[in-house]
Amino acid sequence: MDCFHLHILGCGSALPTKRHYPTAQIVHLRGKLFMIDCGEGSQLQFRQTGLNYNRIGDIFISHLHGDHCFGLLGMISTMGLLGRTAPLRIHARPELEELMQPHLDYFCRDLPYRVEFVSFDPDKHSLVYEDRSLEVYCFPLKHRVKSAGFLFREKARQRHIIKEMMDFYGIPLKEIPAIKEGADFVDSEGRLISNSRLTRPPKAPLSYAFCSDTAYDENIIKYIKGVDLLYYEATFGDDLAELAETTMHSTASQAAGIAHKAKVGQLVIGHYSARYTNEEILLQQARAVFPNTELADEGKRFDVAAVAENNK
Amino acid sequence: MDCFHLHILGCGSALPTKRHYPTAQIVHLRGKLFMIDCGEGSQLQFRQTGLNYNRIGDIFISHLHGDHCFGLLGMISTMGLLGRTAPLRIHARPELEELMQPHLDYFCRDLPYRVEFVSFDPDKHSLVYEDRSLEVYCFPLKHRVKSAGFLFREKARQRHIIKEMMDFYGIPLKEIPAIKEGADFVDSEGRLISNSRLTRPPKAPLSYAFCSDTAYDENIIKYIKGVDLLYYEATFGDDLAELAETTMHSTASQAAGIAHKAKVGQLVIGHYSARYTNEEILLQQARAVFPNTELADEGKRFDVAAVAENNK
């Protein structure tokens, strides 16, 4: 499945409301699922997506506040009940393993799979995950506790072979991998056939960035520059800018300011304070600064490829 | 508020479904709220009831399986955010305190109130809570881990004064407390006026019993004999009686068998296996044995006084 989707499982903040769950989301990239944060109730919201629990290989935890990680134990238990055998990796600052291991030993002692904690330093910009088609980086945010954002960036895709041209020049199959990577072809008589005659350029790699709880901080911009889709917490409206500063959160306008300066494709805001019974005011304030803004909502899906296409 | 209500917050079993939350419920007795079990998402479901978090003084945990206690940390954090100052007592087997204290120290270090763990032995029948109008007992169930049920029993209420008779006999105010307790009155001339002329009998004390995960076990009957309302887990239907035995759960018919033998007023079944997309079959099987059975469902409220009234 050649998709790159963001599924919102929860976009409320710490206080529960009748409409929102605490932070959790799924990045669905070509059949693999990556979870970002895992607030209480994540497993219940995940169930609503119809996606398969076992497809989640890696969970990234931005910071150790309860509204971003209290759902982990339930999620881990459920995967066990569903007979998972593949290891699950949880990427977080090292304290999480110390805290969770005694609970895993007690509540999940018969787990049929391994939970592996992979620690990273939220103060550093670093590569935390890599596979054939994707790199995930963490980068520092500015919150009351160490907090990280995550950048999901597709690796450059291979060029598309033009089959007719391959046939025309009689190019052997074994040459194809190199040509897909951009190599020219030299035939048996020494003639060079330029790669651009044999291939079409691939789609541009897509990217998504998640910015968890953070005060306004322009240092973030460099890490998320030009991403197609940006999720950014916008806990408060302009009316509570002072409270945002004290609690080291962002307002909707500040989120939009960062999106504008980072020249992202689309902004999605979430992590709404329970004070707002309707987030339209946050949307209006964000759109005044960065028009291509949308509200996150539980069950909502954002298609990163479509965002990129619309921004061409 | 002179009520005795049971609110269902969650009545699913360990595997999440699109319709049910794991176990949690609220007993609302004359303005005080008591929580029984606290599965993941309890604080979210509690929010839906419109009741006040701060009214919860005591939480009773039946056993330490995740689907009965993974919601505790979120509930505790939220009460802190809401500015609670009164202590919260959590009644459970002693292991829970050992497990939770490091998490409370890390995630809830600024809590403006005290969390007190009160331990009980789930293998014993004992009084775990008492106040002016209520006694709560725990009693042993039969599960894969030590598991307890809880009995909520109102204390005998005082007799109702008949004001006209008090005036007629000129009874001084200071005598009223004793008369409410059932004392006769002797006037200044030595004449005895029988209590039955001065008072009307109080309403019969109401009772509610919660039976958490348990295999079929007739030993339970003696602890819940004659309660007005009984909640009993009925994870499976008759089709899965063997699985019920292996996993030490009950079927709907078994739950109804216990209700019948204990001569309870009404049975409510819950803790449904995720296998059942519709619990009507469980209801039918239970009603064949004990007609006055109802299905639990999230958000449903049962009025214990009304049950008692209907069974007169």
- Give A26-67 as a DSSP string: EEEETTEEEEEEE-TTHHHHHHHHT--GGGEEEEE-----GG
Count the alpha carbons within 13 Å of B173 in the hemisphere toward its beta carbon. Answer: 0
How far apart are the C-alpha atoms of A198 and A204, rounded to whole Å?
18
Which of the residues B70, B95, B249, B273 would you substitute to probe the A interface, choosing the one with the greatest number of A C-beta atoms within 10 Å? Answer: B70
B222 part of contact set with chain A, CB < 8 Å: no
3-state secondary structure at position A312: coil
Query: Per-residue pLDDT averaged across A231-238, rounded?
Result: 95
**pLDDT for res A105:** 97
Do A212 and A286 lie in one domain? The reply is yes
Q: What pLDDT does residue B219 have?
A: 95
Indicate whether B171 and B183 sit together in one domain: yes
Q: Look up residue A11 and give its two tokens.
A: 């976009």
Chain segment B114-161, per-residue pLDDT in tens: 999 999 999 999 999 999 999 999 999 998 899 999 999 999 888 999
Torsion on CA atoms A89, A32, A68, A117, rounded to nearest 10: 10
User: Which pLDDT value is given to residue B130?
Assistant: 97
Lowest mean pLDDT among B13-17, B58-62, B106-110, B210-214: B13-17
In whole angstroms, what is the distance from residue B106 CA to residue B74 CA? 13
Residue B1 has pLDDT above 70, yes or no: no
Find which of A9, A15, A44, A298 to mutate to test the B interface (most B CBs within 10 Å of its CB): A44
CA of B233 to nearest chain A CA: how many angstroms apart?
19
Say yes or no: B274 contacts chain A, CB-CB below 8 A.
no
Handedness of CA A103, A108, A114, A115 (dihedral sign): negative
Select the residue of A18, A95, A103 nearest B99 (Cβ to Cβ): A103
- From CA A187, how far away is CA A93, in angstroms rounded? 54
Residue B22: partners with Cβ closer than 8 Å, 6 or more residues away: A74, B10, B12, B13, B14, B16, B39, B40, B41, B66, B67, B68, B70, B71
Q: Which of B200, B230, B251 is the last residue of a domain?
A: B200
**Residue B219 contacts by C-beta under 8 Å, 6 or more apart in sequence?**
B140, B142
Same domain, A35 and A174: no
- Looking at CA atoms only, how far is residue A277 from chain B in angstroms? 14
Query: Which range marks the domain in which residue B173 is found?
Result: 160-200
Q: Tell me, what's the pLDDT at B188?
A: 85
pLDDT band at A17 (very low <50, low <70, confident <90, very high): confident
Judged against a pLDDT cut of 70, whether residue A77 lies above it is answered with yes
Region B73-94 average pLDDT: 97
3-state secondary structure of B21: coil
- H helices of chain A, in order, are 42-49, 72-81, 95-107, 163-169, 176-180, 195-198, 221-224, 241-247, 252-261, 280-289, 304-310
Which pLDDT belongs to residue A260? 98
CA torsion A210-A132-A71-A22 (nearest 10°) is 20
CB distance A73–B78 less than 8 Å? no
Range A87-114 average pLDDT: 97
B251 and B164 share one domain: no
- Which of A 56-95 lie inside 8 A of B, CB atoms? 64-67, 70-71, 73-74, 77-78, 81-82, 95
Q: Do B82 and A15 touch (CB under 8 A)?
A: yes
Going from the C-alpha of B228 to that of each of B13, B32, B214, the distances in angstroms are 25, 19, 20
Q: Are A129 and A174 part of one and the same domain?
A: no
Which of the four pLDDT bands, split at 50, 70 and 90, describes residue A304? very high
The pLDDT value recorded for residue A91 is 98
What are B28-38's pLDDT values in tens digits?
999 999 999 99
| Domain end residue (candidates: B171, B200, B229) | B200
**Which residues of chain B lie closer than 8 angstroms to A70, CB-CB?**
73-74, 77, 107
Residue A312 binned pLDDT confidence (cut-offs 50, 70, 90): confident
C-alpha distances out from residue B177 to A165, B68, B125, Å: 104, 43, 33
Report the 10 Å Cβ neighbour count for A38: 30
Q: Which of A194, A230, A229 is nearest to A306 (CA)?
A: A229
Q: Which of A40, A76, A105, A275 to mutate against chain B (most B CBs within 10 Å)? A: A40
Q: How confident is the model at residue B203 (pLDDT cuts 50, 70, 90)?
A: confident
Same-domain check for residues B151 and B134: yes
Tens digit of pLDDT for each residue in A236-251? 999 999 999 999 999 9
B142 and B287 housed in the same domain: yes
At B51, which CATH number? 3.60.15.10
Q: Which residues pair with A150 in a beta bridge?
A: A138, A210
Active site residues of A: 67
Q: How confident is residue B221, by pLDDT bands cut at 50, 70 and 90? A: very high
Mean pLDDT of chain B: 95
- Report, as an integer, the average pLDDT of A214-224: 95
Q: How far apart (Å, rounded) are the C-alpha atoms in residues A194 and A192?
A: 6
Q: How far A230 CA lies from chain B's nearest CA (Å)?
A: 27
Asked if residues B273 and B280 have their Cβ atoms less than 8 Å apart, the reply is no
- A153 falls in which pLDDT band (50, 70, 90)? very high
Tell whether A132 and A196 lie within a shared domain: no
pLDDT for position B140: 96
**B50 CB within 8 Å of a chain A CB:** no
* Backbone φ, ψ for residue B198 (5° rounding): -100, -20
One domain, residues B300 and B189: no
Yes or no: say if B90 and B117 are a contact pair by the CB < 8 Å rule: yes
- The radius of gyration of chain B's CA atoms, rounded to the nearest angstrom, is 22
Beta strands in A75-205 (DSSP E): 88-92, 115-119, 126-130, 134-140, 148-154, 160-161, 185-186, 192-193, 199-200
| Same-domain pairing of A145 and A187 | no
A176 and A145 together in one domain: no
- Say if residue B149 is in the same domain as residue B182: no
From A97, which residue of chain B is nearest by alpha-carbon distance? B103
**Stronger pLDDT, B45 or B1, i.e. the higher one:** B45
* Chain B residues close to A44, C-beta within 8 Å: 16, 21, 40-41
Residue of B nearest to A78 (CA): B15
Nearest to A16 among B18, B78, B108 (CB): B78
Total domains, chain A? 2
How far apart (Å, rounded) are the C-alpha atoms in residues B66 and A174? Answer: 54
**Which among A18, A48, A77 has CB closest to B14?**
A77
